[in-house]
Amino acid sequence: MSFKQFSSDTDVIAFARQHSDLFSADEPLKVAEIGDGNINFVYRVSGATTSLIIKQALPYIRIIGEGWPLSQDRIRIEAEALQLEAKYCPDLVPKVYHYDAEQCAIVMEDISAFGNLRMAMVQRQKLPLLGEHLGRFLADTLFYTSDLYLDGHAKKALVQRFINPDLCKISEELFFWDPYCDHERNSINEHLRADAEALWQDETLKLEVARLKIKFLNQAESLLHGDLHSGSVFVNESGTKIIDPEFAYVGPAGFDIGSIIGNYVLNIAGQSNLPGDQAERQDYQQWLLADMNTLWNTFSRCYRQHMQAETQDPSLRQAAYAEWYLAELLADSLGYAGTEVIRRTIGLAHVLDIESIEDAQQRTESERLALTLGQLLIKERASFSSIEALTAKLTKQLFCH
């Protein structure tokens, strides 16, 4: 048998029964196509008391069709990345029940007890464990897939296993190219056009973006999730789940950290003009800034502990080296956060945190704020000696006019 797109509920149900032992043989099952993403098909199969998720990758991008082909190897990469992440933080990812190379499909745990982080942030939900969970996920997945832990052969084998050219190309273009020129893929609010044009003329900014881009292209530091925006994070009061690592490849660790920090910053920019009481919105902005501190501080504490306890090479285990490494990584992370903020404001794919501001003038104000913060993050990334130095600067920028 060769690859076949699931074309009916019966197909999906048969596949679910074949590849999991969740359901009894005579139990009636139903199927819903629940994918709200752009790239793949996602189905929920439910029985009387339990359910599972099936994700299938076609040889092209779902919302575009055959006009934009995309390697189906992405679903193998996603399955293997989820399994690797589960080795280090099993509580933070959905469990993979089965990966099927022929049908290009993953059968996995249904995490619908958790809600999308982007929606939670738009609704100003404070999540007491978010920063800690994200910090631990990043420390574990980035450390245990780096040369600070793996020996040379294991590391090169990892790089080879996660070569992901099609999806890397999408990120290369959407993060580092389109937003810095008048590209046809960009989506720019007409009221922000002059700001975008000024940004395209900013040679200092473009030089810094080039430095970040070359690291994205050639720094094989750690296995990345590769698409760690707030739509890939699911949350509730007691837990966090991170899904959709189909962009995984071995790249600069700061790219993952920066992607999610950039999404905090995008929500901060949105909260300046989202509907609701101003004091409540400002309070939420302050909560986001505090949680960014928690995220980075949890990450750096865990990373430092891993280096001290588990790095074998004595030259890389020196305390002074860990400090240097983490300082460089903070700067990289802030730079990538800035590229995420800018590409989500004037590039192809925007975010609900800002798009849901109905009034065009107010939306423009939040977009302008996002562009200002994004540029600050990129240009000044090396000047912050701690995350608190950054969040203090952002606090000043937001609240002290």
Ligand X SMILES: Nc1ncnc2c1ncn2[C@@H]1O[C@H](COP(=O)(O)OP(=O)(O)OP(=O)(O)O)[C@@H](O)[C@H]1O
Site residues, ligand X (CB under 6 A): 34-40, 42, 53, 55, 94, 108-112, 231, 243-244, 246
Partner whose footprint covers residue 243, from ligand X, Mg ion, none (CB < 5 to 8 Å by kind):
ligand X
Q: How far is the CB of 52 from ligand X (least distance, A)?
A: 8
Q: How far is the CB of 262 from ligand X (least distance, A)?
A: 16
Q: Which residues sit at the interface with Mg ion, rule CB under 5 A?
A: 39, 244, 246
Q: Which residue has the tokens 């200002």?
A: 372
Partner whose footprint covers residue 38, from ligand X, Mg ion, none (CB < 5 to 8 Å by kind):
ligand X
Comparison of 64 and 319: residue with beta carbon closer to ligand X: 64
Partner whose footprint covers residue 295, from Mg ion, ligand X, none (CB < 5 to 8 Å by kind):
none
Q: How far is the CB of 6 from ligand X (least distance, A)?
A: 14
Q: How far is the CB of 94 from ligand X (least distance, A)?
A: 4
Comparison of 45 and 322: residue with beta carbon closer to ligand X: 45
Write a three-state SS string for the chain. CCCCCCCCHHHHHHHHHHHCCCCCCCCCCEEEECCCCCCCEEEEEECCCCEEEEEECCCEECCCEEEEECCCHHHHHHHHHHHHHHHHCHHHCCCEEEEECCCCEEEEECCCCCEEHHHHHHCCCCCCCHHHHHHHHHHHHHHCCCCCCCCHHHHHHHHHHCCCHHHHHHHHHHHHCHHHCCCCCCCCCHHHHHHHHHHHCCHHHHHHHHHHHHHHHHCCCEECCCCCCHHHEEECCCCEEECCCCCCCEECHHHHHHHHHHHHHHHHHHHCCCCCCHHHHHHHHHHHHHHHHHHHHHHHHHHHHHHHHHCCCHHHHCHHHHHHHHHHHHHHHHHHHHHHHHHHHHCCCCCHHHHCCCCHHHHHHHHHHHHHHHHHHHHCHHHCCCHHHHHHHHHHHHHCC
Q: How far is the CB of 213 from ligand X (least distance, A)?
A: 22
Which residue of this chain has its Cβ atom nearest to ligand X in the complex? 37
Comparison of 51 and 345: residue with beta carbon closer to ligand X: 51
Q: How far is the CB of 227 from ligand X (least distance, A)?
A: 6
Comparison of 195 and 246: residue with beta carbon closer to ligand X: 246
Comparison of 109 and 283: residue with beta carbon closer to ligand X: 109
Comparison of 221 and 246: residue with beta carbon closer to Mg ion: 246
Partner whose footprint covers residue 112, from ligand X, Mg ion, none (CB < 5 to 8 Å by kind):
ligand X
Q: How far is the CB of 108 from ligand X (least distance, A)?
A: 5
Partner whose footprint covers residue 42, from Mg ion, ligand X, none (CB < 5 to 8 Å by kind):
ligand X
Comparison of 195 and 244: residue with beta carbon closer to ligand X: 244
Partner whose footprint covers residue 115, from ligand X, Mg ion, none (CB < 5 to 8 Å by kind):
none
